[in-house]
Structure formats: structure tokens, C-alpha cells
Structure 1
């Protein structure tokens, strides 16, 4: 079966609707912030305009990356060796992410410095004048840390499948889940936020916990093939030897998975 014809997990559509609402709320906030920055520039405070543009760059870049994934334009990238089969995010997603972080870090630092001095021409309550420098300083630290970790990892993350485990890496941490510790593979979580995991694979663990592999559509178009790939290799340990050679990629491209 072609990967384009694989059935979408039932609970993903529910999560997708909530993400759309969240996206609209974030977009409205960005537009408001951007308008305030532009108005400050028209009043002669170009410094405020420049910093606002720097702050909104990261969320705009991330929205562009999400749009890329949502429209099914993700390009499959993989690598393999004798240890296992690795799936990598689309290069364009990594480029958008690192560009946004690189612009966010200095902009957030300057915001944190100049807000207490009254040099930012954006209406703020007294509480926001006190709280926002802390918020922007924290954002700067996170951005710098993410850039350093991203450079060390040479990317924003990866999924590595080996005959014994799944290695899940993002810009902050790496987790390894052994196949033998997985008791079920689902398209949603059993927690109260079960339908908020998005286009993810939820690994139900023997100890009662869960491990979520998220943002699957950043790796392959729609993310659906990766969901069925994880389920297939969990249910068929006899096929895991394929993960050490080209057969895993052949199976992924052909969509030859157990859909039961």
C-alpha cells in the first residue's frame, strides 16, 4: 500500500481541531504585538519596531514550519547503518527553527534590558513592566540553550529505530524506549489531555507510564506512515532485523505495515 493511502489514526483529527484553535489564538496575539511595534515606528521609535520584529520572527518561522507539515510538503530524510534506521526532520524545518532562535535570542535580551528603562514604546501595565523583562530574559536563555544543543546534535532531533529500542531525540533531550517495555501503541494518551498530543505515537509502557513521539509530520508527509511503522515493528519483532539494512526504508516507502 502506498504511504499516501495509509489510514489516518482516528484520534488525530480531534487533536488537529484543537491545534487549529490554538494557532488562531497565537496568531491573534502576534498580530496585536506586531501592530503595536509598527505604530511605535510611525511615532519615531524605530528601535521598538526592530525589536518587535525580532521577537515575532521565531513564532512566525514555527508557523511556517507547521504550515509546511500540515500541507504534506515534508521531505523524507533517513540514514541507516549496522546499528539501526534513523528518520530525520525535513531540512527546511531545521532551517526555520534555527533562524527563528538565532533572531529571538538577541531580541529578547535587548527587550529585557530596555523595558525597565522605558525605552520600549508599547503600552504596558506596571505589572507587565516588572514581569516582562523576566519573561524575555528566560526566553533568551532558552533560545541560546536550544541553539547550543541543536549545534551539538547537528539538528533539531531524530528518531532512531534499532532491533532492541526506539531512540527519541529532540533539541532538549534524548530518550530510549526498549521494545520489550512497550505494552501498547496508541494514537492518543490515556491522560486527561489524551487528545492534545497531536499527530503523535503514544507508547504505553510496562511501568504504567507513557512515552510520546510527537510531531510525526515533521519527519514524513502527514506523519501517518511513522505511526504504522512503530506499530508494525512493535507487533512483529521478527521483522526488526530489517532496521539494520535498507529493508526498513523499502518498507516505509511502500507502506507495507500491519494495519491491524
Structure 2
């Protein structure tokens, strides 16, 4: 309100943008922690496709858009000395340039999110799994997996509650935000582990049987 009264409109927009980002992260984490999530499931000849809970997906997208737009706006106004973040004293031009760089580095994420129609997805097929989020995509065959766990194999200090860690035989690990899909990520983790252990059942991935397993995890 003080920024509005002082006519510092650019600074006010920047502050609101960062607030929207912070609120979206908080809201998403509250929903996930409460377990109020349900996946969207599609299946067919290409396998079973899982998408995160739609509310979590939308809130996360809003947060990403708010973050990138605010970083870019702040970078421009701070670089030219037009405005700055309230509470930060001194010349903020260097911070503005860093914000522009961060926004530019984040732009490919928007393209990826638009292409995959959401913040992430997990596809299970007879050959393996494909996981993509806003930052990267990986495709792995079942035979390449060496471990599926709720904690990282080699770096326990990187534990993120609710995540699933998929480790391949060469030691690489991929973190799946499985709690965006099902409460605590447990049902997703159990489903992936089941089809890893039971190749004779992977034919289920082309019809509704895998979706039923996910909804009622045996």
C-alpha cells in the first residue's frame, strides 16, 4: 500500500509478482502435504500416461509464470534504475542483470511445459518409462533400472519427502515428484515398481488394468 501511495508502481508490481510466486508454492505444498491429490490417467497403444493432480499442476504453472515474468520485469526496471525491490538498499542494477539472466534461462521451461501440456508427466510402456518435467526429460528401459525407492541411494541429504528416486545401473538417479500424482507418492511408486518386477504384466499398460491398479493398489 505504501508503494502505491508513493507512486512506485513498478516496484509494487514486482512485489506483487514475487508474492504470487511465493503463495503458489505455499498453496501447492499444502495441497500435496495434505494428500488431496488425484492423478489424470490416459491409456492406449502407447502405454499408460499419468499426469499430476490438475489443481497442483495449475498452481505450479501459475507460480512458474509469475516467477519468470517478475524476474524479467524486475531485471529491466532495476537495470535502468527505474525501481527496485523494497527493503533492499543500494544499487540494485547488478541484481537486475542477474534476474534477466535467470528469466532467460527459464524460458525453455515454458516451451517444454506448453509442448507436454502440463508441468510434468509419467508414461509407462512395455519397454520402460518416460518422465518429463519443466526442466528435463528422460526415457529409460526397464532393464536399465537398478532401484526404485522413496529416498536417494547415493545422496541421502537430498531427500525430498514424497518423491520417488529411480536409479539406473550406471548410478544415475532421476527424481520423480510422485506426490503430485498420488498421496505421498506411494501408489505411483508401487505401480512403477510392480511393472519393473513383473514384465509378464506389462501388457496391462495398454488398457485400463494399470489405471485400476493405481486407483486400488492391491
TM-score band (shorter)? 0.7 to 0.9
Preserved CA contact (<8 Å) 1:109 1:137: yes
Separation of aligned partners in 2, 1:45 and 1:204: 50
1:124 aligns with 2:88: yes
Q: 1:202 to 1:104 in 2, by over 3 A?
A: closer
* Other-structure match for 2:205: 243
Gaps of 5+ in 2: none
Other structure's SS at 2:43 match? strand
Of residues 21, 31, 47, the one that matches 1:84 is 47
* Other-structure match for 1:64: 27
1:252 aligns with 2:210: no
Shift of 1:194: 4.5
1:54 aligns with 2:17: yes
Shift of 1:85: 0.7
1:106 aligns with 2:69: yes
Preserved CA contact (<8 Å) 1:88 1:157: yes
* Other-structure match for 2:56: 93
TM-score, normalised to structure 1's length?
A: 0.75
Q: How does 1:189-200 map to 2 (within 5 A)?
A: 189-200=152-163
Q: 1:47 to 1:209 in 2, by over 3 A?
A: closer
Q: How many residues align?
A: 217
* Other-structure match for 2:146: 183
Shift of 1:138: 2.6
Separation of aligned partners in 2, 1:194 and 1:240: 34
Separation of aligned partners in 2, 1:172 and 1:204: 18
Preserved CA contact (<8 Å) 1:98 1:147: no
The Cα RMSD (Å) is 2.2
Separation of aligned partners in 2, 1:58 and 1:144: 16
* Other-structure match for 2:181: 219
Cα displacement string for residues 21-49 of structure 1 (whole angstroms, at most 9, x for unaligned residues)? xxxxxxxxxxxxxxxxx543454423312
Separation of aligned partners in 2, 1:249 and 1:49: 47
1:203 aligns with 2:181: no
Separation of aligned partners in 2, 1:181 and 1:216: 20
Separation of aligned partners in 1, 2:124 and 2:72: 39
Cα displacement string for residues 119-174 of structure 1 (whole angstroms, at most 9, x for unaligned residues)? 32524354x62431123213322443322221121111100111110111112222
Preserved CA contact (<8 Å) 1:84 1:244: yes
